[in-house]
Amino acid sequence: MSRVDKVVGMAAFYCGFPPEICKIIRDSLEIDWRTFGRKRRYLHGHTGAVYSTAWSFDGTKLATASEDRTVRVWDVTNRFKCISVLEHNQSVNSVSWSPDSRFLATGSNDKRVYLWRTSDFSIIHSMSDHARVVRSVCWSPDGAFLAAGGKEEAIVLWDSKTGTHVRSEHIDLGGSGLDSSSFPVVRVIEASSSSLWSIAWSLSGKELASGSWVDDAVKIWDARTGRHVKSLRGHRSFVCSVAWAHKRDRIAS
């Protein structure tokens, strides 16, 4: 038994800490605080501000989106060598990997969402139905759908296989209820007066969270119906980013 295991065991036995607290203690003890937070490497290549970064789920690549109208893909296994430069017509605000790391989605000020195949970084879909700037793109946990939103005050759900969206009342997103026969069936979620800044799927794929520029709130949406479920208030200014916890129904904003 390691020293960390002994300390965590003593905390549970003598203090009666629940498993959740014991896990936090374990994670804290396993961090090398002497090097935590130090800069490890600079990645040079962008000529403008970097607006979004995303690790591939297999941990081998890093994608960065920039004001310079490009997305750069860096190979972690080869000393962070830049292996591809993907171009938009205007600033790129968001980048997101599919859960299997086979595809990359990007959203831009040019009102487009591009879907790239990561084997050769070719464009397989260009989704141009957005009326205004796209600030956030995010894959559903099963990789079947892509959520995108921004200044147009709506969350658009795209079928990632075809790059199309259709308004429909008969859809089922995420979880065991996903019906592949419904493709391509997605929804446009009207987000009222909220200019969207960030979108995130719940782990189940049945809900979406959005951060707003206007009403200073995190909003929860039913991805299957488009219904507004609740608003989480407490921020005193706009919400730039939202993220669901991977194992619990918690949201950071």
Each residue's pLDDT expressed in tens, for the chain with a length of 253 residues = 566 576 666 666 656 566 656 666 556 555 565 665 666 778 889 998 998 989 998 889 999 999 999 999 999 899 889 999 999 989 999 999 999 999 999 988 888 888 899 999 998 887 765 657 888 898 988 888 888 877 666 777 777 665 555 332 222 333 323 232 332 334 455 555 457 788 888 888 888 888 877 777 788 888 777 788 888 888 887 888 888 877 667 888 8
Q: Tell me, what's the pLDDT at 146?
A: 85
Instruction: Output the CA–CA distances (angstroms, integers) from residue 116 to 66, 95, 174, 221, 233, in the order listed.
Output: 16, 11, 22, 27, 36
On the CB side of 169, CA atoms within 13 Å amount to: 0
User: What pTM was estimated for this model as a whole?
Assistant: 0.73
Q: What is the overall mean pLDDT for the chain?
A: 75
Phi, then psi, of 178 in degrees rounded to 5: -65, 125
How far apart are the C-alpha atoms of 209 and 231, rounded to whole Å? Answer: 9
**CB 90 within 8 Å of CB 48:** no
Tally of CB atoms within 10 A around 231: 13
**CB 205 within 8 Å of CB 141:** yes
How far apart are the C-alpha atoms of 239 and 214, rounded to whole Å? Answer: 9
List pLDDT tens digits, range 176-219: 232 323 323 344 555 554 577 888 888 888 888 888 777 777 88
The enclosing H or E element of 33 equals none
